[in-house]
Structure formats: C-alpha cells, structure tokens
Amino acid sequence: MATEILIIDDNPDIRNILNDLISDEGYKTRVAANYNQALNEIDKKLPDVAIIDVKLDKGDNDGIELLTHIKSKNKDIPVIIISGHANIEMAVKSLKSGAFEFIQKPFDQERLMNFVKRAAENFNLKNQNKELATKLFHSFELIGSSSNIEKIRDQISKLSSSESRIFINGPTGSGKELIARKIHKLSKRSNEPFVILNGALLDVKKYEQELFGEEKINGSISYGALEKSSGGILLIDEVSEIPLETQSKILRVLTDQKFKRINGDHDIKVNVRIICSSSKDIKNEIELGNFREDLFHRLNVFQINIDHLKNRIEDIPLLIKYFSKKISQNYNLKKFDIDTNNHYLINYDWPGNVRELRNLIERIAILGPDNNEKVSSIIKESLKKPVGENYKIENSLSIPLKEARENFEKEYLTTQLKKFGGNISKTAEFVGMERSALHRKLKGLGVKDLN
C-alpha cells in the first residue's frame, strides 16, 4: 500500500508544486487549503506523513496546532513543517512540538523530497515493528497443564461468546493481557478494536483525558479510549491504580451507558465491552478505601484468577519447550534445546512470572549457546538470587544433620509433586522410589496430598 502524504498550505501554487512533486515519486496525496479543511482531513483519516505550513488562515501558529493535533492521535506520524517566515525560535518550537523536520521557503525540492522519503521510511518501519510485536504477541498461546490453566481455558471458551464484563486477577507478568486478547479473538467483537488503557502507566492528571477524550478550544478533538474501542473491547489494565474521582465517573458510564468528553456538551453513547485486570488484591484495596466496592461489583460480573507461576510448576517444562520453539521460529534463529528438568528453572520463584521465563528463553535464543553447559551457565547467571537470600543455606548449617536432611527431602519432594501435578506414580518414578515407599515418606515428612 502506497504511503499517503497530507499537504496543508494556503498558497495554491505551493500546494500544487508539492502535490505534483510528491505524486511523481509514487506517493498518494491529499491536500488542504486552510485550517478547517486540514482539521477535517486529519479527523476523517490520519495520513502516514503530513507537510504543514506554519501560518495558515487562523493565526500565526495554526500549523503548530495541527501538528499537536496529529500527535495527540498518533505520535508516530512524521510531520514536516514548512515556513516562509522562518526564524530560529520557530524552528525550535516546531521540533519541540514533535516535528520530524523543519524547512524554510523557498525550499530546495531535492532536500524536501529527502525529508519526505525519510519520513515515510520512518513511519513504515515503526508500523512494521508494531505489526511484528502484535503478531508475536497474538501468536502466543495459553500454555500449561495445571488445573489453573485448564480452568482458565474453559472460562475463555464460555465467556468469549457473552457480552459480560470480566475481571482478571493475577500477578504481574502472569498473562492477564493474553487472556483478554484470547477472549477478544474468540468473541463477536473480534473484527473490532482491542484497546488497552494501562492505569499504572498514566499520569494522574491525564486519566480522564485518556479515557473520555477532550474537545479543545480550537475545535479539535482528542479521542479517548472509550471511543477508540467503540464496538470492540477495552482492557483497563491495573484498574486499581485509577483515582477514586475517576472511578466514580467510570461507574456513571457503566450505569448510564454514555459519557461526555472533557469540555464537551453532548452525550456519546457507549458500545464497548470492558475487561479489567489487576495484580493487586482488589478486595484488600476496597478495605483500604482505594477502590470503590460498587464499581468492583459492576466490573466483576465474571472473574478469572491466574496463579503465580511458582504455584504451577508442572507448567514450566511445557512453557520452556513452547517458547524455545516459538522464539526460534519468530526470530528465525537456530533451534536450541533447554533441559526442562534443570533445577534452577524448577526451583526458582519466578517473581516476574511467565514474562520473566519468556525473556530468559529469548535471551538464550539470541546469545545462541552451542552446548548444554553454556545454556545452563546463562540460566544460572540469570536466575542468581541476591546475597540476602542465602539465609536458607546459613540456617541449615546451624541445625542437626537429621533435621537438615528432612527439610531438604520435604522441600524436594513437594517441588517434584507440584511438577507432576500431584501425581504420586509419576513423582515416584522420577525420584526413583516405589509408589508405596513414597507414600510412607510423604506421610512421615508431613507432606499433604496435592490432589
């Protein structure tokens, strides 16, 4: 698809020269002769690149206002500012406002076309990177054989066809966004937008602007997440981070099914399915007064809970095999094997959950170790615990041998049981014991049946 350039200049001669020059190079073009025409063209469809004259018919800096308007919609769109009244101050202001380049009239045509080509390449490259990241993310599956993952798969299958709101609980990096994306993919809204609003990453002063959008004094509109996701699904990630004042307004939207943009006068109807997620204990946040209980009940029609990776050890070998294969395919890297029984991998606490495991596998893939010893060395170095966590070793040196051995056996056998999902027969075979002997050992150590 050809790159589309929007040309905004009130001088018809300049407009025509730019249009002919750029069209001859194979680019698609659109033109606007004044501020209002430009605003309509931008709001109708965002261009891939814009060329804007600083001074149009509205004021001395209306070109900068259009630049800001474009950036509010998509910060990645390159904007080339041109001016017949250029000075250093104007150039600096343009670049600080996000301009890709600044060029003075009368301009050198070859120089301008170099700017246009670089701007188009810049935009296309960013788009390709986004598409690759999205493709990579969408290609991931919910991997695991634990009862927790099996239950979540069943919930996704059942909830995708409904329109009910969903609340996803789980620690950071456990796969909450992946679950939401799977629901979107299987839902009736799959061909409509999937928009993410991350409550933990927003400036406190910008929550409502990001959610509801804003009607500005100059007549331009900045659309919020509710409108961007119209017809589709809005994932409010880390919803517990949203201020109480904004929470009350979200509750009103859910009740009335409509809202107003900031500085807006008319109601906008809501047609969006909302999924929320949180890595915090939301009930504890309610008790602390940080989250509205009435809003929680509105959002929590159905709840999905994903466990910490350390509590579903049997999923780790499957995830290792899956990510090893997937990452080598996606990045066109040499296939590699990782020992899924590596005790560093199995006994590690995984504070970053599945995301941390995936990052580790990606690191190994990129470094490309050529033998198991080097793979093991990368794993050991990556998962090295802080010095302060050596207390277990130090503590074991201060107790009798029998007690230390029992502590080790209890921890070892509990880990192996988790690894095999509580299956006694498989655990016994792996540790080299008879099934009945393992039963007796577990009973003697006070280890409860995990089933």
pLDDT in tens, 14-69: 999 999 999 999 899 999 999 999 988 988 888 999 999 988 887 666 888 899 88
The mean per-residue pLDDT over the stretch 138-145 comes to 78
Q: Which fold would CATH assign to domain 4-127? A: Rossmann fold (3.40.50)
pLDDT at 157: 94
pLDDT tens for residues 294-312? 999 999 999 999 999 999 9
174-178, 264-268, 273-277, 439-443, range with the lowest pLDDT: 439-443
The pLDDT of 132-155, averaged and rounded, is 79
Cα–Cα distance measured from residue 282 to residue 293, given in angstroms and rounded to the nearest whole number: 9
**For residue 138, pLDDT beyond 60:** no
pLDDT for 130 beyond 90? no
Q: Does residue 232 have a pLDDT over 80? A: yes
Residue scoring higher pLDDT (386 or 325): 325
pLDDT at position 393 is 44
Provide the pLDDT for residue 86: 63
pLDDT at residue 50 in the model: 93
Q: How far is CA 415 from CA 307, 427, 431, in A?
A: 16, 10, 11
**Which whole number is the average pLDDT over 187-210?**
86
Q: CB neighbours of 103 closer than 8 A, spacing ≥ 6? A: 80, 81, 82, 83, 111, 112, 115
Q: In this structure, are residues 302 and 166 in contact, taking their beta carbons and an 8 Å threshold? A: yes
Q: Which fold has domain 390-445?
A: Arc Repressor Mutant, subunit A (1.10.10)
Does the predicted TM-score (pTM) go above 0.85?
Answer: no
Give the CA-trace dihedral at 380, 386, 388, 389, to 10 degrees: -40
- Are the C-beta atoms of residues 223 and 69 closer than 8 Å to each other? no
Q: Do domains 4-127 and 150-306 have the same CATH topology?
A: yes
Q: How confident is the model at residue 399 (pLDDT cuts 50, 70, 90)?
A: low
At 59 the pLDDT is 67
Question: Could you state, in order of their start, the residue ranges of all structural domains in the chain?
Answer: 4-127, 150-306, 311-384, 390-445
**Per-residue confidence (pLDDT) for residue 371, from 0 to 100:** 75
pLDDT averaged over every residue in the chain: 85
pLDDT at residue 133 in the model: 52
| 277: DSSP letter | E
- Which burial class, exposed, middle or buried, applies to 205 when counting CB atoms under 10 A from its CB (0-12, 13-18, 19+)? exposed
Residue 76 to residue 89: CA distance in whole angstroms: 24
The predicted structure's pLDDT at residue 443 = 82
Q: How confident is the model at residue 131 (pLDDT cuts 50, 70, 90)?
A: low
**pLDDT for the residue 398:** 45
More confident of the two residues 450 and 331 = 331
Please say if the pLDDT value at position 202 is more than 60: yes
pLDDT at 372: 77
**Could you tell me which CATH class the domain 150-306 is placed in?**
alpha beta
Q: Where are the alpha helices (DSSP H) in 200-335?
A: 207-212, 225-228, 244-256, 282-287, 293-299, 315-330
Q: How confident is the model at residue 394 (pLDDT cuts 50, 70, 90)?
A: very low
Query: 73-124, pLDDT tens digit by residue?
Result: 888 899 999 988 766 777 788 888 888 998 888 888 898 899 999 998 888 8
CATH architecture of 311-384: Orthogonal Bundle (1.10)
CA dihedral 14, 15, 19, 20 (to 10 degrees): -40
Structure confidence at residue 374 (pLDDT): 81
- Choose between 262 and 386: higher pLDDT: 262
Task: Decide if pLDDT at 402 tops 90.
Answer: no
As given in the structure block, the two tokens for residue 321 are 């095999």
